[in-house]
Amino acid sequence: MEAVLEGQMEVKAWRSGIEDRLERLEAITGLIPDILERLPAPNITPAHQNKVKYYSARLQKMCRADKIMSLRMIAVIKDCLRI
């Protein structure tokens, strides 16, 4: 009987620890929307924009050669990248 009570106490202590960890995690997770709102809009430098153009052109050539993607999908990619 004593072993059962001791086991129950251990489980109760374990649960308490888990609950504390979960509460801390929820508190941190709750801050994420505020942090994201405070971040400035990302800026893309001309050098980065040139790299995007270069790699999208390479992707376009590969897709046309392998006929993996349709021209419509390539247009969507370019539109999303605004190039």
Give dist(CA 21, CA 43) in Å, integer. 36
- SS3 letters for 44-82? CCHHHHHHHHHHHHHHHHHHHHHCCCCHHHHHHHHHHHC
Please report, as a single letter, which amino acid is at residue 56: S
Same structural domain, 29 and 62? no
Same structural domain, 35 and 50? no
Same structural domain, 48 and 69? yes
pLDDT value at residue 82? 67
Q: Which structural domain range is residue 18 located in?
A: 1-39
Q: Which of 22-26, 64-68, 73-77 has the highest mean pLDDT?
A: 22-26
Q: What is the total count of domains within the chain?
A: 2
Same structural domain, 33 and 50? no
- Tens digits of per-residue pLDDT, 26-72? 998 999 999 889 988 778 888 888 888 888 788 777 766 556 556 66
Give dist(CA 6, CA 1) in Å, integer. 9
Same structural domain, 59 and 29? no
